[in-house]
């Protein structure tokens, strides 16, 4: 199929239909494509990933052109420079997207792996085998790199995907989805493995959220508002991702250098990510306290402090008083709330009051306190003497990551390829019946 033919038809022919009907048809097409993809060998899927990577790089000029139109529209609409930066695609970033697809090709295929199995007393042979979910929906905001990331992970795990990328990245996403569908056609795979519902606007997103039975799982990626809107409104099962009101507790016994290293890294390594520290809890007897605050200040972090922390500030440093709003805020910026606590128990209670159950850390040299913290804190990840920035699929050795789940069902913490699969029980007998 020529690339013009495939990319001209980005989705099911739905012109004139209402969004619910249109998205329903697209989900049906996705289901048919998914059934075919579920039976594709790892070899075919990896070949497709590598080919998509090549096509994206070969057509980077067209992608950058489309992206420029999104950027111009964004500037015209007064979009912030931070958001424009996330929207932007250039040669280097496109190369990074292609390389990520190549890395995916090198990862093991989760499909077909046997989770457990045995021969039962009656001779029945049973095994529980990983199979793709089927049809995955993704709702995200103005980040065209997510289009490629999610497509790659879905393809590798054998799933079809319906993408809602948001109006701000409309042209970039249209270019990317067109290229991906062309590449799938080249590889004789169904192009409806990847479809964009962006043409159906907000009503399309609403239809996607309501398509229970047609869409197997919905993954929202973005800010608090987007995620809560999806969680509250979707009847399709949702995996909640990404909000991280992350705490670091510096215990009385924390070695000073370790406390400084871990806290500064957790806050400043990249302050816009969900695994970045947002509140520091200092034990009142922590000798490391003043050094930690001084290092943070030198690193350009604006502290928001309670009364006792104010007294530990380096001379001449100003810091506003922390309020409940500070304890509850994910700054995603060079700000950090600081509270002094009397005990590990007070730290744990503060965390339980404000946590988003993403990542919580302790710096300590006291074994009993380390174990107590691990057992007491209810979060996807607990760090002992390590930066909170390690809550990341790549860092934890999972390979690719489609987001960090902050819910308890299905997936918790970094979600890799396995988390986009479900299982099937296969039971083989010789005419076995129940007595």
Stretch that binds a second copy, among 16-24, 87-95, 315-323, 391-399 (CB under 8 A): 391-399
Nearest to 57 by CA among 84, 86, 88, 92: 92
Q: Is 401 left (phi over 0), alpha (psi -120 to 50) or beta?
A: beta
> Site residues for a second copy, window 20-49 (CB under 8 A)?
35, 38-39
Binder of a second copy out of 1, 106, 120, 367 (CB under 8 A):
120
Stretch that binds a second copy, among 2-10, 45-53, 231-239, 310-318 (CB under 8 A): 231-239
Contact 160, 420 (CB under 8 A): no
Contact 231, 243 (CB under 8 A): no
Question: Should residue 350 be labelled a site residue for a second copy when binding is judged by CB under 8 A?
Answer: no
Question: Should residue 237 be labelled a site residue for a second copy when binding is judged by CB under 8 A?
Answer: yes
Contact 358, 383 (CB under 8 A): no
Nearest to 108 by CA among 49, 166, 156: 156
The 238-267 contact track toward a second copy, x by CB under 8 A, reads xx---------------x-xx--xx-xx--
Q: Cβ contacts of residue 129 below 8 Å, gap of 6+?
A: 112, 113, 114, 115, 423, 424, 426
Stretch that binds a second copy, among 48-56, 180-188, 327-335, 375-383 (CB under 8 A): 375-383
**Alpha helix (H) residue ranges in 187-310:** 201-209, 224-233, 256-268, 289-298, 307-310
Pairing of β 413-414 and β 404-405: antiparallel
Question: Should residue 161 be labelled a site residue for a second copy when binding is judged by CB under 8 A?
Answer: no
Q: Whole-angstrom Cα distance, residue 266 to residue 248?
A: 8
Binder of a second copy out of 107, 391, 401, 402 (CB under 8 A):
391
Q: Which is nearer to a second copy, 114 or 426 (CB)?
A: 426
Question: Should residue 407 be labelled a site residue for a second copy when binding is judged by CB under 8 A?
Answer: yes
Burial bucket for residue 246 (CB in 10 Å: 0-12, 13-18, 19+): buried
Q: Which is nearer to a second copy, 54 or 390 (CB)?
A: 390
Q: Which is nearer to a second copy, 40 or 175 (CB)?
A: 40
List interacting residues with a second copy (CB under 8 A): 35, 38-39, 118, 120, 124, 126, 128, 131, 133-134, 212, 216-217, 231-232, 235, 237-239, 255, 257-258, 261-262, 264-265, 269, 363, 370, 374-376, 378-387, 389-391, 395-397, 407-410, 412-414, 422-434
């Amino acid at each position: 199929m020529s690339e013009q033919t495939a990319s001209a038809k980005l989705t099911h022919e739905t012109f004139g239909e209402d969004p619910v009907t249109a998205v329903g048809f697209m989900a049906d097409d996705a289901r048919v494509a998914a059934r075919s993809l579920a039976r594709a060998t790892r070899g075919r899927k990896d070949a497709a990933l590598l080919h998509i990577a090549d096509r994206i790089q070969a057509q980077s000029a067209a992608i950058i052109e489309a992206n420029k139109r999104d950027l111009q529209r964004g500037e015209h609409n007064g979009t912030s420079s931070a958001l424009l930066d996330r929207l932007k695609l250039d040669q280097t970033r496109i190369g990074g997207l292609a390389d990520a697809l190549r890395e995916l090709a090198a990862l093991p295929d989760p499909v077909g792996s046997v989770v457990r199995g045995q021969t039962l007393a009656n001779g029945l042979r049973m095994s529980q085998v990983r199979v793709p979910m089927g049809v995955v929906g993704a709702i995200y905001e103005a980040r065209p790199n997510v289009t490629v990331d999610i497509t790659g992970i879905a393809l590798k795990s054998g799933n079809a995907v319906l993408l809602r990328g948001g109006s701000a990245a409309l042209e970039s996403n249209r270019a990317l989805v067109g290229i991906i569908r062309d590449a799938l056609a080249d590889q004789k795979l169904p192009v409806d493995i990847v479809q964009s519902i962006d043409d159906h606007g907000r009503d399309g997103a609403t239809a996607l959220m309501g398509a229970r039975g047609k869409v197997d799982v919905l993954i929202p990626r973005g800010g608090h508002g987007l995620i809560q809107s999806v969680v509250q409104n979707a009847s399709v099962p949702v995996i909640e991702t990404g909000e991280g009101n992350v705490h670091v507790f510096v215990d009385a016994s924390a070695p000073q250098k370790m406390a400084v290293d871990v806290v500064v890294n957790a806050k400043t390594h990249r302050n816009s990510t969900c695994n970045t520290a947002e509140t520091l809890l200092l034990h009142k007897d922590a000798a490391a306290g003043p050094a930690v605050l001084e290092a943070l200040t030198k690193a350009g972090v604006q502290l928001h402090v309670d009364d006792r922390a104010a007294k530990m500030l380096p001379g001449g440093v100003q810091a506003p008083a922390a309020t409940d709003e500070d304890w509850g805020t994910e700054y995603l910026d060079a700000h950090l709330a600081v509270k002094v606590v009397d005990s590990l128990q007070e730290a744990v209670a503060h965390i339980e009051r404000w946590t988003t159950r993403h990542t919580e850390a302790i710096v300590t040299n006291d074994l009993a306190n380390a174990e107590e913290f691990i057992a007491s804190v209810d979060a996807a990840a607990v760090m002992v003497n390590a930066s909170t920035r390690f809550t990341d699929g790549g860092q934890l050795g999972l390979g690719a990551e489609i987001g960090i789940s902050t819910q308890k069902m299905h997936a918790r913490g970094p979600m890799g390829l396995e988390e986009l699969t479900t299982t099937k029980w296969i039971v083989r007998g010789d005419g076995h019946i129940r007595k």
